Structure 1
């Protein structure tokens, strides 16, 4: 507990730990209402209140009765400045255990939390990097001192630092598809580490950089004992979407299948064309796989999808029973669900696709602005 009168900051990493560990926290979000409604910090025991900063410039007396004395209080804004001001006002009014989010929601959007999913048969392991504030999931397959990183986000330091600490060499970076909701770090990470960058060729017709073709039948080997990453062509979210069966244990499903929903087919403007592909992948190709595979998606949409320690995963057989998107037997109803009942499209998704093709290179700050907000790759009403 911070001594009265002393303002403390909470890092995005500390906040992430509280969310994944289901700790109790009261958040005062001082962004404007529209930004708050679009995207907010969520957690099982997170209680959140929105009062715009401009209502508090002249004092916080109007909200004092709403700020609990028996909970840790975190003040949040877009970049940090407004939250520091409001937190200081609360402390001056006698509130204790008050802190502000260092770097604001921008920092929250960029933090990656590594969690170990499980082991590989040769003693290696599979690590999931959870971008709690954005809902993105990246993966590192580790075997015999080598690694492959799948669906890397643009904050590549998280992967290079993790590899350095573990004395691991990143040999491959792979994107399951051409992303539209966030900027891929796969190509940049490959350049930093000398790794091979893989991309499905059907998604790469407009890219302007060299890449290795990720096609069914090719096996990407990590380590000396041949941990196989077997690509599985699985179109629907995009025409090139490719899943992976790793070590006969894990199914990395990209943005085709999530824990509580399924992928949307409209982010390249081809929804009507790709609906049949999506249904075939989910209802036929995936049905041929072992029900015991652990599904590891590229995104999660709701905090309820976070499991123990922040992991996002589910057994394939369980998803066929429980996931609404896998239980729409009528084909016409399925088509309506994935073309009509969609959430808003991701922020700046057209520009993000252009970046991921290598056609434009905005500044780091411009890239941050493009990614602000939640991911919207799923059919959440499925």
Structure 2
């Protein structure tokens, strides 16, 4: 019989940049759309039905004693393939429990750094989706920015840290994943904050994010300063935390920039995007550490799994910030767009409170990779 590995154990391998070999037995079209990625992750795709008569099609590519993690959509087919491999003499085979469905939901907390006056900032990395959320804790209180749909990891983390979650904040109305911010706020009795320009159609009460209105978490030295920074959406809002960190939402990433088209207004919003990136952020300190809401490439995962970069370095290295000609920039961000995220219209409707899909439907809506960036 094969052994199993949890998403937590696999996540540790990925963020620690351990050499990891994945045998993905999903159909090739599913694999091509979305796969497990990491700096030292090697993935072989061999559809399950090719292996029903034996593992010969992959045996010659693999060593009998090397660690192999077999993956499928939900964990059933991969378990059968892993057992076949053990029968064929492979000695170090693991089945990923829950498959890609479970991988899509795993959140891995990574410490970013300490904050002035005590407290700390953590980045929750959703490796299977490329989503990043942030947990600020200070003096017994916590704020979470861009909360994912899965609430339990944040609740468990807060309990372990002995802090009370006071603020749930979304940098914008998300279109690629379902926000858990409003639901967690209701659950813990916290305040849910949303940019008002993105909230014109929401069906629920919220506290508007407004520039100049700091959100204090715990000690007064830890301030979350919103900065209006439209472009990805008309309400997109960034945050400066402790004069050290710039949370950019989906406006600026480590290797790319945000796409302006997920509300169907690319031509309208491209000017806002350029103004935010080329003027608004330019006025900020180059030493701020940029912490985005997503990442698209495995190489963006730094040491320990953190996704971050110094703002000044991004102005030197990020190709999306190097386009001086406004027309060339406009063409780049309206023509170099990847496919729309899965079910993005329904996700937007859900985040507005206009839909309330069953849990299994929510999981289905979120399946697939992050697609919030312009492709360079």
Task: Report the TM-score when normalising by structure 1.
Answer: 0.97
Give matches, 1:26-45, under 5 Å: 26-45=21-40
The alpha-carbon deviation at position 66 of structure 1 amounts to 1.6
Q: Residues of 2 paired with 1:293 and 1:355: CA distance? A: 33
Q: Which residue of 1 aligns with 2:103?
A: 108
- Counterparts of 1:130 and 1:293 in 2: how far apart (Å)? 20
The equivalent position to 1:301 in structure 2, one of 289, 296, 320, is 296
Task: Work out the CA distance in 2 between the residues paired with 1:128 and 1:105.
Answer: 22
Matched, 1:167 2:162: yes
Q: Check conservation: 1:260, 1:324, Cα contact below 8 A.
A: yes
1:132-180 deviations in Å (ceiling 9; x for gaps): 1110000011110101000000011111100001110000000000000
Which SS does the other structure have where 2:256 is aligned? Answer: coil
Question: For residues 266-317 of structure 1, what are the alpha-carbon distances to aligned partners after superposition, in whole Å with 9 as ceiling and x for unaligned?
Answer: 0000000000000000000000000000000000001100001000000000
What is the DSSP-based 3-state SS (H/G/I as helix, E as strand, rest coil) of the residue aligned with 1:66?
coil
Q: Which residue of 1 aligns with 2:20?
A: 25
Unaligned runs of 5+ in 1: 1-5
Which of 175, 180, 195 is equivalent to 1:180? 175
Q: Distance in 2 between matches of 1:53 and 1:344?
A: 27
Q: Offset of 1:227 from its aligned partner?
A: 1.4
State the Cα distance separating 1:101 from its structure 2 match. 0.5
Give yes or no for the alignment of 1:68 onto 2:47: no
Question: What is the number of equivalent residue pairs in this alignment?
Answer: 376
Q: CA deviation at 1:215?
A: 1.1
Could you list the structure 1 runs, at least 4 aligned residues long, displaced by more than 6 angstroms after superposition. Answer: none
Say if 2:259 and 2:373, in contact at 8 Å, map to a contact too: yes
Separation (CA, whole Å) in 1 of partners of 2:63 and 2:320: 40
- Alpha-carbon distance in 1 for matches of 2:77, 2:59: 17
2:141 maps to 1:146: yes
Name the CA distance, whole Å, in 1 between partners of 2:241 and 2:320.
Answer: 24
* 2:168 and 2:190 in contact (8 A); partners too: yes
Please say which of residues 47-56 and 28-37 is displaced more in the overlay.
47-56
Cα distance in structure 2, aligned partners of 1:62 and 1:154: 39
Q: 1:323: how far off?
A: 0.5
Question: What corresponds to 1:329 in structure 2?
Answer: 324
State whether residues 24 and 71 of structure 1, in contact with CA within 8 Å, keep that contact through their aligned partners in structure 2: no
TM-score (norm 2): 0.99
| Conserved? CA contact 1:25–1:71, under 8 Å | no
Matched residues in 2 for 1:142 and 1:68: separation? Answer: 46
Residue 191 of structure 1: how far off its partner (Å): 0.9
Q: Specify which of 89, 98, 104 is matched with residue 94 of structure 1.
A: 89
What is the alpha-carbon distance in structure 1 between the residues aligned to residue 170 and residue 220 of structure 2?
A: 23
Residue 226 of structure 1, CA deviation: 4.1
- 1:70 deviates by 4.5
CA contact (8 A) 1:173 1:195 kept: yes
Partner Cα separation in structure 2 for residue 63 and residue 131 of structure 1: 30
Q: CA deviation at 1:7?
A: 1.6
- 1:320 equivalent to 2:315? Answer yes
- 2:363 matched to which residue of 1? 368
Cα distance in structure 2, aligned partners of 1:92 and 1:123:
54
Tell me how far apart the structure 1 counterparts of residues 183 and 373 of structure 2 sit (CA, whole Å): 26
Offset at 1:324? Answer: 0.4
The separation in 2 between residues aligned to 1:372 and 1:207, in whole angstroms, is 24
Q: Do structure 1's residue 202 and structure 2's residue 197 form an aligned pair?
A: yes
Structure 1 residue 247 corresponds to structure 2 residue 242: yes
Pairwise CA RMSD of aligned residues?
A: 0.8
Q: Which stretches in structure 2 are left out of the alignment for 5+ residues? A: none
Q: Does structure 1 retain, via aligned residues, the 8 Å contact 2:110–2:122?
A: yes
Contact 1:24–1:72 (Cα < 8 Å) also in 2: no
Shift of 1:42: 1.1
Report SS of the residue matched to 2:60.
Answer: helix
Query: SS in structure 2 opposite 1:325?
Result: helix
Instruction: Determine the C-alpha separation between the residues in 2 that align with 1:281 and 1:199.
Output: 19
